[in-house]
Structure 1
Amino acid sequence: MTVGYANASIYTPQGIIERGLLLVDDDGTIASIGDTEMAVSPDVEIRDASGLLLVPGFIDVHIHGGNGFSVMAAELEHLDGISRFHAAHGTTAFLATTTTAPLDRIVHALESAGSAVGRGRLGGAELAGIHLEGPYIDEKRRGAQSKDDIRPPDGREIEQLLAASNGQIRLVTLAPEVDGGLKAVRQLNGLGITVSAGHSDATYAEVVEAVGCGLRHTTHHFNGMSPLHHREPGLAGAGLLLDELTCELICDGIHVHPAVVKLLFDTKGPLNVCMITDAVTCAGLPDGDYGEVTMNDGQIYLKDGSSLAGSSLTMGQALRNAIAFTGYALEEILPSLTLVPARQVGLLDSKGTLEAGKDADFVLLDPKALQVMQTVVRGKTVYRRESDE
């Protein structure tokens, strides 16, 4: 049965349609978008969304976990828990993100996630692919990544990891300056996989060379990378200056100062900023100690205090933060959570914007506080905020 969401303010690539009507076909795709006066069949089930904003679903290409669940647990139960937790905060699709670990642990995580990719496999946000973060990184910029398991890229090992994932790796974070780094960039780029520079101590010149080999993305910009210096721009400066690079951003006000968030948006523009959470297992849980990390007031550090260790951020909060930090309007920030991540990992044909024929992935927001009221994935409601929450 076709379902219609009526009387919402609908955010489309062509602009905002006030008192709009979005029709969802029974196959989970968007049938059409127009105003409430649009002629519809009498058998369409109309759902009133008066007073709400209907925006594209958020796409998070960098999630390690949440609500006690972890990608590296390599279990469907954990992936489903991650999916449901992040759906409650507006995420409709995500990439399960691995960490630097022994090869067998990475392989198991890839096998688990690779088998769960696709429509209807999980109960919340759709698992749309995998982000391989490490182990091909620079020890100097490892942050919370395992020092003992860092190693240089190897072409045959990369093939092994791709096979373990069932071909579902869409994004790879590596340090292009390490031995074999540029060769890996070329290899992955040739396979249509987006390559991101992260946990990298690359110089500006080394980043320029990597861009020539196919580098197109930076991982959690400003964090885990060579900083901007007036005599050596490093990876941080290269991301700001090179048009070929889209920059990930953890917009929690902890990883990146609010003023620097504004600097990134003002310099790159929202169409070249990719908002992420980098959420880890304890995101959504109370403050406390969790294995090798401790969380206090939402800030997650290694227990020795030497490094931040992921975030407790959600995409809904990232949206609200970005608007507060930059002064940009909702419609200006939205692409950084929707269109940009979809484009960067090859999902734009089916996700990232509200258009007829695309997946019916969208979020209904309260217009005052921009709280997530309902999350819809391929036409199915996977989260609804209760009135007494």
Structure 2
Amino acid sequence: MAAARAVALHRSHGTTSLMASLVTDTIDRLAEQVAALAPLVEAGELVGVHLEGPWLSDLHCGAHDPMLLRDPDIADIDRVLDAGEGTVAMVTLAVERPGGLEAVAHLAARGVIAAPGHSDAGYEIAKEAVAAGASVATHLFNAERPMHHRVPGLIPALLESPSVAIELIADGVHVHPVMLRHAITCAPTRYVLVTDAMAAAGAPDGDYRLGPLRVRVQDSVARLDPGGAIAGSTLTLDRAVRFLVEQVGVPVPEAVRAATLVPAETIGRADLGRLAPGARADLVALGEDLQVRAVMRGGRWVVPPC
């Protein structure tokens, strides 16, 4: 199964807990895909499933099929959530679409993270979404209304909200180091490193698929073919940590915290992301160059020490 291969690849790079993301598709297909992934969640191979679409902005769809985008509908949302029998952990949505704020409140009530993203929301609507229960900013800066000094938009609204975890893709392609530094300065204890990785992570350049769309990877950068929009990444989390340290100037303990403790707390997993009594025995050994030297998961070596 492709999902199991992806888990193994990222685990070898030090990601001992992984959330699967599904891109925009029909409600029928999403329900099928969530049901197919549910056994991996139940077995502990995945910590949950993230739905990135189809409730996204037409103006900021990125690498999502614009023909499949739709307004949030509680019945559609519940159908996909129910298909996963509790394994859907997070939903990214454009909160400004009709029904968006109601969907945020409904997701929060069901214990699912509601995450503004791929959105054209203004400042005020973004703040309303936070008040309704939105708690994660999906890959901040990417595929959303940019900041403007007279029309601030959702980015500053999310950065200034202490209850919102801030996702950042630190690969040197998605976000300039200066903007990464800006976000970290605004939210120093609540930013989360994510990969937004697609199937080409750890694989050579070439042609791939992202949901129903074709993707070409060249020089390790994934873009739609045709179209050219950035289509996820080929990033692994160890590279993201190195990029933060080497290119953004973040201290090693802080960069590691953004890849371990903060994401674990964001999804409510006190047993992950820390070395403490009662936590799962996960350990990643890094060399002085921050390259992965060994990986332990649940007390067993995934990558044995040399």
| TM bucket normalised to smaller | over 0.9
- SS at 1:92's partner residue? coil
SS at match of 2:162: coil
Determine if the alignment matches structure 1 residue 358 to structure 2 residue 276: no
Which residue, 78, 83, 97 being the options, matches 1:164? 83
Which residue does the alignment assign to 2:129? 210
Asked if 1:373 corresponds to 2:297, the answer is no
Are residues 1:298 and 2:220 paired? yes
* Runs of 4+ in structure 1 over 6 Å off: none
CA contact (8 A) 1:261 1:325 kept: no
Alignment equivalent of 1:95, drawn from 12, 16, 19: 19
In the alignment, structure 1 residue 78 sits paired with structure 2 residue 12 = no
CA distance in 1, matches of 2:304, 2:197: 22
Distance in 1 of aligned mates of 2:276 and 2:142: 34
Shift of 1:290: 2.3
Opposite residue 2 of structure 2, the aligned amino acid is H
Structure number with bigger Rg: 1
| Contact 2:197 2:233 (C-alpha < 8 Å) held by counterparts | yes
Which residue in 2 is equivalent to 1:311? 233
Map 1:200-279 onto structure 2 (within 5 A): 200-269=119-188, 271-279=189-197
Structure number with the higher strand fraction is 1
Give the drift of 1:118. Answer: 3.8
The TM-score, its normalising length taken from structure 1, stands at: 0.75
Q: Which structure's relative contact order is higher, taking Cα pairs within 8 Å and 6+ residues apart?
A: 1
Q: Higher helix proportion, which one?
A: 2
- Equivalent residues of 1:219, 1:248 under 8 A apart: yes
- Answering whether residue 256 of structure 2 is matched by residue 334 of structure 1, we say yes
Deviates more, 1:290-299 or 1:79-88: 290-299
- What is the rounded CA distance, in whole Å, between the counterparts of 2:102 and 2:228 in structure 1? 32
Partner of 2:61: 142
Separation (CA, whole Å) in 1 of partners of 2:174 and 2:263: 19
Structure 1: 5+ residue runs without aligned partners?
1-76
- In the TM superposition, what is the alpha-carbon distance from 1:171 to its structure 2 partner? 1.0
Cα displacement (A) at 1:243: 2.1
Count of residue pairs brought into register by the alignment: 302
- Give per-residue Cα distances to partners, 1:229-256, cap 9 Å, x unaligned: 0011112222222222221011001000
Alpha-carbon distance between aligned partners in 2 of 1:169 and 1:333, rounded to the nearest angstrom: 27
* Aligned-CA RMSD value: 1.4
Shift of 1:383: 2.3
The CA distance in 2 between the partners of 1:259 and 1:246, in whole Å, is 19
Question: Which amino acid counterpart does residue 130 of structure 1 have in structure 2?
Answer: V
Contact 2:127 2:158 in 1 (8 A): no
Distance 1:288 1:139 in 2: 28
Is there any run of 5+ residues in structure 2 with no aligned partner, and where? Answer: none
Tell whether 2:117 aligns with 1:198: yes
- The aligned counterpart of 1:127 is 46
Q: Name the counterpart of 2:267.
A: 345
CA distance in 1, matches of 2:276, 2:48: 22
1-structure distance, mates of 2:46, 2:255: 23
Distance 1:164 1:150 in 2: 20
CA distances 1:200-244 after superposition (whole Å, capped 9, x unpaired): 000001101111101111111100111110011112222222222
Letter in 2 for 1:344: T
Q: State the alpha-carbon separation in 2 of the partners of residues 280 and 358 from structure 1.
A: 29
The equivalent of 1:22 in structure 2 is: none
Q: List per-residue Cα deviations over 1:5-41 (Å, max 9, x = no partner).
A: xxxxxxxxxxxxxxxxxxxxxxxxxxxxxxxxxxxxx
